[in-house]
Amino acid sequence: MSAPGRSDGVDRLIAHSYARPRSRPAPGPGPPGPARPEPSPARRTLPISTPVAPTDAPEDAAAAGAPQTPAAPGAPASPGSRSAEPDSPHPGRRRFLTYLLAAPTLTVAARAGLDAAAPATARAAVRTAAEQSSAPAQLSGLPGIPDVVDLGDALILAGLPTSHLLVLEVTADGRAALHLPRLEVGQGLTTAVAMLVADELDARLADVDVPLSDGRPDLLFNQLTGASNSVRSLYDPVRAAAAAARARLVTAAARRWSLPADSLRTADSAVLAPDGRRAGYGELAAEAAEVAVPAVSAAPKTPGQQRLVGRPTGRIDARDIVTGKAKYAGDLAVPGAVPCVVARPTTLNGTLRSLDASAARAMPGVLGVVRIPTGVAVLAETFDQALKARDALVTTWNPGPVAALSTADIKARLRAAHAPFLVPPLLTRYVDAEFDFAFVNHAPMEVLTAVADVRPGRAELWFAAQTPIVAQQTIAAELGLPQDAVTVHVVRGGGSFGRRLFFDAALEAAQVSRAAGRPVKLMWTRNDDMRHGRMRPASHHRIRATHALGQVLTYEHRAATVATDFRHGLGEALTAAGFNLSVAGLSLAQAFFLLSEKNPYDVGIPTQLLAEIPLEVPTGSWRSVYSGTVRVADEIMMDELARRLGQDPVAFRRARLRGAAARAVLDKAAEAGRWGRPMPPGQAQGIGYHDEHGSRVAYLVELDAADPEQPRVTRAVVAADVGRAVNPRGLEAQLTGALIDGISVVLQAGIHIDHGAVREGSYADFRYARQRQSPPSVEIHLLPPTGSPGGAGELGVPAASAAVANAYARATGTSPRSFPIDF
Amino acid sequence: MPSHTFVLNGQPVTVEAPDDMPLLWVLRDKLGVTGPKYGCGVGVCRACTSHLDGAEFQPCTVAVKDCAGRQVTTIEGLADGDTLHPVQEAWLACDVAQCGFCQPGQIMTAVDLLRRTPTPTDADIDRIQNICRCGSYPRIREAIKQAAARTA
């Protein structure tokens, strides 16, 4: 499917621009006024500025911390009443231009202005404000780089030049479709985006569709789903597009009825006149497409005017899911696509030495056997026949590059990779600790599956792609085709946790389809997924904290990890955002580390260093990436320091957390979770805190280790501040999922490597938590909205993991150092 | 090729398939019924859980010949037309699903649990083996309790 409103062949385009007004100029190096980078040459633009006077409207109640009182559902908003963005303590982060694309129905695109190189500045301003209220009487911690500009900011910057290509269309049948250049894998993004559209349009949520866009190379770096960055990067552009569409719909109705546009209201997917006349958006769509200059403000609503954003809302695809109608790649009925599985080496990255496929080829239903770089593919009429024929292949394999290594060897290499500590423990008291984290498989429920139809001169693929543009480029190069001859259809994914940043199955499917000359549906088995990765890299952490007179003086964290594979377009995106890695002398991994890792506490002078060991095993970002180990080790260390200094773990953290917002989250978890309440023998509470992606969270868990072999988290209380939750219900799901991740990877789920091969083969031995390991009681508290949405998909993992580890330590009186504990 | 006849979601079907073909692949690859998901193929993850004569089973580990003459119900056959089963309704009310891939199996498991144990305790619910990699377990627990209350 092609994205509507693409510029090709468009002979007329009218643009409307406006600046989101603010009462103070946005700081930063951007050009003055609404920046308007050149759209593609096919477009002619006519910028028309629509000044909107700033008002003195007070900060909306919700943002000021008072209970949020959204308008009643369906309450019409008056187009004339939209106020400019109120004076906010946070400088506006982005401004928008919107473009009306020539299309038979109303199609609007939004872009963020270049003046928003401001994330760094904005964040710095927030940081300064936070600093002023942070006054623990000790050496002030140095701000980490992520306090000033984090990975999400960098990715937003990389995506800015193309964010005007976000497309919203309102069709004659009354539906609004936001073509989403991201992947849905369960994180609830399609629902959150539908809510943003419905809110700004004053449309019924049920009238909004959020199809996933095909790979669109015109988006450059703006089609990467990751880094908990989707809502952060889409919140403003989606609202701008929808507000612009609504303004044009109102204007079209005003013209039709010869009424002043500002006398009209919108509600429930229709424009309403004072005399009771009503025109649905569908019937206005064509006329609205002719509106060059809206007669009412096209500014997005202020938070106080939003009626859907912030309201707990069920997933828009929930009914499809519970009735079995939701389609994943393996469920697609692509004509002629035959089942295909791949025989793989006996060790990681091994290679084929010999093959006798004669018996397999003779088996019923078998349609072909194809050698590909990663193994031997078998095509058959059904997956059962393909699997049985795969078993009948007679193969021998050359050992892979790590065939001599097992888990213990890799641990030893990691331990040897550290840079030395800077502070020798000569004059002060100190605490040293070392931590090991095992490899962890992503293990999404839906195994990697891709449909490929490669024909002479073109190729078409269907799969759950977090990086469809990079996939398209790579597959085109593999097939010797021009990039635009390869179409990547993005299909919803059955979980990801970072796994679908890579398109391993799609590349294989393209290779097989080309060789076999027919469309294929290639599926990794669960065993393939476990045995051939990818994995969160194993890591080792060495931490030294010095202290005197009850204060932490220095805090050094040396992380050594097996190298993380980031070859999915991240480096290109960071470069596009202005990070010249080679000049900075950084590896991509170090850049990622520096942009994401920071210690949130004033612990004297903190230093954090990453050492990577290259190892030819399949790795990849795993939900929360470095923070999933680095920050967990930090949080365990905070408990141990508190113990050493004779302080309560919560009080110890509280005295050192930077900023009131951080302390508010910790306080909420401690209060709601009744921190310190008496616990029976063998049971204990544990606390963990983390902030990242512009959000912050604390987990308090209670763990029963009366039987230390069967520890059970019995209760969890979570407090989170994500700036502004678009869908609190979806956010709670993410925080709950992160809790189960934490329970799993800390207590029982990990991957062993034995002589270059993964030991685990399924969920039977990769022991991701089941219902019996899940806490019967989970309570989540979301703090009132304060600003723009932060990221949340990965936020919870480090704090949840740490809370579980700390509770286990307190319940058992041990100091766990190696995770998972039961491994 | 042997032929097998059974009742699928209320309709008799006849399909040609090797005797030992797991029902999962008969459903998915021959009949185009894709609600039951492949997650492991060995009865561990239970994403394919469906009902055989009204009781939960894993079609990935049951041969098609063993289903002859029996009633197979997949997630597609649980609702009565547009009227959802109370467990499906509870799943919507609790907004259980995240990625959704395991949920057909989770729902079919829950329906059978409630058939056997109309008012399940936490310990009963703890015995559910189905994996949810997104970690929706607390909402699954809540939805089962809600469905139990609705049908009690």
Tens of pLDDT, residues A408-432: 999 999 999 988 887 776 667 899 9
Q: How far apart are CA A621 and CA A566, in angstroms?
A: 7
Give me the pLDDT at residue A402, please: 97
pLDDT at A571: 78
The pLDDT value given to residue A63: 33
CB A731 within 8 A of CB A739: no
Nearest-Cα distance to chain B for A10, in Å, is: 38
pLDDT for the residue A421:
86
Confidence band (pLDDT; 50, 70, 90) for B8?
very high
Measured CA to CA, the distance from residue A553 to residue B151 in angstroms comes to 61
Interchain CB distance below 8 Å, A324 and B35:
yes
Tokens of A815: 């100091």
Predicted local distance difference test score (pLDDT) of residue A338: 98
The helix/strand/coil state of A391 is helix
Q: Peptide bond before A27: cis, by omega within 30 degrees of 0?
A: no
Q: Is A494's CB within 8 Å of B100's CB?
A: yes
Residue A573 pLDDT? 79
Give me the helix-helix angle, A281-288 and A230-257, nearest 10°.
90
CA distance A154 to A569: 13
A739 touches chain B (CB under 8 A): yes
Q: Which of A493, A741, A770 sits opposite B99 (nearest CB)?
A: A493
How many angstroms separate the CA atoms of A797 and A350, rounded?
Answer: 33
Q: Which of B128, B130, B137 sits opposite A740 (nearest CB)?
A: B137
CB contact under 8 A, B99 and A776: no
User: pTM for the complete prediction?
Assistant: 0.87
Residues contacting A661, CB < 8 A, separation 6+: A130, A696, A721, A783, A786
Question: Are residues B101 and A494 in contact, defined by beta-carbon separation less than 8 angstroms?
Answer: yes
Residue B27 has pLDDT above 70, yes or no: yes
First CA to last CA distance, chain A: 47
Q: Cα–Cα distance between A170 and A680 in angstroms, integer?
A: 60
Amino acid in position A100: L
A545, two tokens: 């904290």
- Smallest CA–CA distance, residue A527 to chain B, in Å, is 7
Angstroms from A74 CA to nearest CA on chain B: 21
* Cβ contacts of B134 on chain A, cutoff 8 Å: 186, 445, 495, 733, 737, 740
Contact check, Cβ <8 Å, A326/B100:
yes
Residue type, A688: G
Q: Would an 8 Å CB–CB cutoff place A766 in contact with chain B?
A: no
Kind of pairing, strands A338-343 and A278-280?
unpaired
CB-closest option in B22, B29, B99 to A495: B99
Number of continuous H segments (helices) and E segments (strands) in chain A: 21, 31
Reported as type and span, the H/E element at residue A454 is strand A449-455
Tens-place pLDDT, residues A549-571: 889 999 999 999 999 999 888 87
When computed from its CA atoms, the radius of gyration of chain B, rounded to whole angstroms, is 15
Nearest CA in chain A to B128: A771
Eight-state DSSP code of residue A207 = G
CB A628 within 8 A of CB A745: yes
Residue by residue, DSSP assigns A519-556 as: -EEEE--HHHHHHS--EEPPEEEEEEEEEETTEEEEEE
Chain A residue closest to B137 (CA)?
A: A771
Is A266 strand, coil or helix?
Answer: strand
Cβ distance of B22 and A364 shorter than 8 Å: no
Residues A678 and A302: their CA atoms lie apart, in Å, by 45
Sheet architecture: strand order including A176-179: A14-17, A96-100, A106-112, A166-170, A176-179, A208-209
Smallest Cβ distance to A314: which of B32, B92, B99?
B92
Of B29, B42, B104, Cβ closest to residue A383:
B29
Cβ-defined contact of A445 to B39 (cutoff 8 Å): yes
The reported pLDDT for the residue numbered A118 is 33
**Amino acid letter, A540:** H
Q: For A395, list phi and psi in degrees, rounded to 5.
A: -130, 150
Are B97 and A740 a contacting pair at CB < 8 A?
Answer: no
Q: Which of helix, strand or coil describes residue A98?
A: strand
Put residue A655 in one of left, alpha, beta given phi > 0 → left and psi -120 to 50 → alpha: alpha
Cα distances (angstroms) measured from residue B128 to each of A370, A756, B139 = 40, 34, 14
Count of CB atoms situated within 10 Å of the CB of A220: 19
Q: How far apart are alpha carbons A70 and A770 in whole angstroms?
A: 38
In chain B, the residue whose alpha carbon lies closest to the alpha carbon of A739 is B135
- Does A736 sit within 8 Å of B136, measured CB to CB? yes
B34 to chain A: closest CA residue: A331
The residue in chain A having the minimum alpha-carbon distance to the alpha carbon of residue B22 is A384
Cβ pair A382:B25 closer than 8 A: yes
Q: What is the 3-state secondary structure (H, E, C) of A29-94?
A: CCCCCCCCCCCCCCCCCCCCECCCCCCCCCCCCCCCCCCCCCCCCCCCECHHHCCCCCCCCCCCCC
Q: Strand A265-267 vs strand A270-272: parallel, antiparallel, or unpaired?
A: antiparallel
Chain A nearest C-alpha distance from B120 (Å): 13
Chain A: give the shortest CA distance to residue B148, in Å: 16
- Residue A383, chain B, CB below 8 Å: the answer is yes
Q: Which residues have a Cβ under 8 Å from the Cβ of B49 and sit 6 or more positions away? A: B36, B56, B57, B58, B104, B105, B106, B108, B109, B130
Nearest Cα neighbor of B134 from B94, B96, B92 is B96
Nearest CA-CA distance, residue A672 and chain B, Å: 18
Q: Check B104 against A525: CB less than 8 A apart.
A: no
Interchain CB contacts (distance < 8 Å): A and B: 188
* Contact residues, chain B, for A188 at CB < 8 Å: 98
Label residue A353 exposed, middle or buried (CB < 10 Å: 0-12, 13-18, 19+). exposed
Backbone phi and psi for residue A179, each to the nearest 5 degrees, phi listed first:
-80, 110
With CA atoms as reference, report the closest residue to A767 among A699, A709, A686, A698.
A709
Among residues B100, B76, B117, B140, which one has the least CA distance to residue A187?
A: B100
Return left, alpha or beta for A694; rule: phi > 0 is left, psi -120 to 50 is alpha, else beta.
Answer: left
Residue A333 sits at the chain B interface (C-beta within 8 Å)? yes
Query: Residue A820 is encoded by which pair of tokens?
Result: 């998972």
**Shortest Cα distance, chain A CAs vs residue B22, angstroms:** 7
Place of tokens 């009209």: A264
- Tell me if chain B has a CB within 8 Å of the CB of A522: no
Q: Are B126 and A319 an interchain contact pair (Cβ–Cβ within 8 Å)? A: no
Contact A526 B97 (CB under 8 A): no
Asked whether residue B2 carries a pLDDT value surpassing 60, the answer given is yes
Alpha carbon of residue B89 to chain centroid: 15
Q: Which residues pair with A551 in a beta bridge?
A: A548
Within 8 A of A333 by CB-CB distance, chain B residues are: 32
* Alpha-carbon torsion, ordered A665, A667, A669, A670, to 10 deg: 160
Amino acid present at A663:
R
Residue A411 DSSP code: H
Q: What is the model's pLDDT at position A109?
A: 62
pLDDT at A606: 85
- Residue A596: count of CB within 10 angstroms of its CB: 24
Our CA angle for A182, A187, A188, nearest 5°, is: 85
Cα–Cα distance, A817 to A681 (Å, whole number): 22
Kindly state whether A791 is in contact with chain B, defined as any CB-CB distance less than 8 angstroms: no
From chain B, the residues in CB contact with A495 under 8 A are 98-99, 101, 133-134
> Average pLDDT, stretch B54-58?
98
Residue A594 has a pLDDT of: 84
pLDDT on residue A123: 32
The residue ranges of chain A whose pLDDT is under 70 are 1-105, 107-145, 147-148, 163-164, 425-427, 580-585
Extract the runs of DSSP E, i.e. beta strands, from A662-762.
683-692, 695-704, 712-721, 753-754, 757-758
pLDDT value of position B104: 98
Among the listed residues A299, A306, A394, the one whose alpha carbon sits nearest the alpha carbon of residue A354: A394
Quote the pLDDT of residue A89.
34
The C-alpha atoms of residue A526 and residue B45 are separated, in whole angstroms, by 10
DSSP code per residue over A604-653? SEEEEEEEEE---S-B---TTTTHHHHHHHHHHHHHHHHHHTT--HHHHH
- Partner-chain contact A495 B28, CB within 8 Å: no
Closest CA–CA distance from residue A152 to any residue of chain B (Å): 23
Across the interface, whether the CB atoms of A186 and B79 are under 8 A apart is answered no
Q: Which of B25, B107, B133 sits opposite A445 (nearest CB)?
A: B133
| Residue A606: closest CA among A154, A130, A147, A126 | A147
Would you give the end-to-end CA distance of chain B in angstroms?
47
Q: Give the position of tokens 């685990």.
A: A760
* pLDDT confidence of residue A25: 35
CA-CA-CA-CA dihedral for A453, A456, A458, A460, to nearest 10: 0
pLDDT in tens, B84-128: 999 999 999 999 999 999 999 999 999 999 999 999 999 999 999
Note the pLDDT of residue A19. 28
Are residues A357 and A322 in contact, defined by beta-carbon separation less than 8 angstroms? Answer: no
Kindly list the residues from chain A whose CB atom is less than 8 angstroms away from the CB atom of residue B139: 733, 736
Identify whether the C-beta of residue A203 lies closer than 8 Å to the C-beta of residue A765: no
Closest to A168 (Cα-Cα) out of A206, A197, A138, A125 = A197
